[in-house]
């Protein structure tokens, strides 16, 4: 099948799709023929640009302001997608936050913020989307290779939230399997985004391939998992990190 039409007729929602890995996913899904909705919180200009880029691929796009740490906002975003497009086939949960600090110094308020977005927000997306996603649909979360190996001080809470996502995906895959819906998790390593600016050079020596990953590489894996070709893959976590955890 021609990659440009592999997802033709599908409707995708990318939570956290205005920049970095999320924006690359929006571009890739649109490039493969899917209509795309994306959420953003603090980057309206980048969200609008991402939507325009998707529309340039010849598909409709919609940018929605929604805080992934607020379950009501996540539910409303899904409702807006259904109102605009009339269906939902693919859900990609990319929204997440990263705050660093050792366990003796990490504040409880920051802990709650990380859990609210990185765990509760992911659950809310799956929970509210499940009744509406088409049978045979695709749910994909964006976790982190830190679920397997933290590697340096100050990332314990972030690693915990991403490990929780990997476990949630395994159970959700079983729950939704009777409807042919697959649920999978993509675990990037250090990737060239705003989130990694402060520590790229620190971790690069730990990557056997000797470089930081690119958002488009992660987006390619997501697009594959969203396709019909990946119909027998569910409950899996795919690490894409240049060998960091090998």
Told to judge if 224 belongs to the known catalytic residues of this protein, a careful annotator would answer no
Neighbours of 141 (CB within 10 A): 26
DSSP 224: H
Rg (CA), the chain: 17
DSSP 201: H
Residues 6+ apart with CB under 8 A from 244: 145, 149, 151, 189, 190, 203, 206, 207, 208
- Of 125, 122, 130, 135, nearest to 181 (Cα)? 135
Residues 6+ apart with CB under 8 A from 162: 118, 143, 144, 146, 147, 187
DSSP characters for 46-76?
HHHHHHHHHHTTTS-EEEEE--TT-HHHHHH
DSSP characters for 173-200?
HHHHGGGT-EEEEEEE-SBSSGGGTTTH
DSSP characters for 67-111?
-TT-HHHHHHHHHHHHHHHS---EEEE---------TTT--HHHH
- Active-site residue among 40, 158, 224, 244? 158
* Positions marked catalytic: 158
């Amino acid at each position: 099948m021609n990659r440009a039409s592999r997802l033709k007729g599908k409707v995708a929602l990318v939570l956290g799709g205005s920049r970095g890995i999320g924006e690359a996913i929006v571009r890739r899904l649109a490039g493969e023929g899917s209509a795309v909705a994306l959420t953003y919180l603090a980057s309206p200009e980048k969200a609008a640009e991402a939507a325009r880029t998707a529309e340039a691929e010849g598909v409709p796009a919609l940018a929605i302001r929604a805080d992934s740490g607020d379950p009501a906002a996540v539910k409303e975003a899904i409702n807006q997608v259904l109102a605009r497009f009339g269906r939902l086939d693919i859900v990609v949960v990319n929204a997440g936050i990263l705050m660093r600090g050792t366990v003796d110094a990490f504040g409880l308020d920051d802990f709650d913020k990380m859990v609210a977005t990185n765990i509760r927000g992911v659950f809310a997306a799956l929970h509210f989307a499940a009744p509406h996603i088409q049978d045979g649909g695709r749910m994909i979360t964006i976790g982190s290779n830190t679920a397997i190996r933290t590697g340096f001080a100050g990332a314990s809470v972030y690693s915990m939230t991403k490990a929780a996502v990997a476990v949630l995906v395994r159970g959700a895959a079983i729950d939704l399997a009777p409807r042919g819906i697959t649920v999978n998790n993509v675990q990037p390593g250090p990737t060239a985004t705003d989130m990694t600016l402060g520590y790229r050079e620190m971790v690069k020596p730990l990557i056997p391939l000797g470089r930081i990953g690119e958002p488009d590489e992660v987006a390619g894996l997501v697009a594959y998992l969203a396709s019909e070709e990946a119909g027998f893959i569910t409950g899996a976590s795919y690490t894409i990190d240049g060998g960091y955890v090998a």
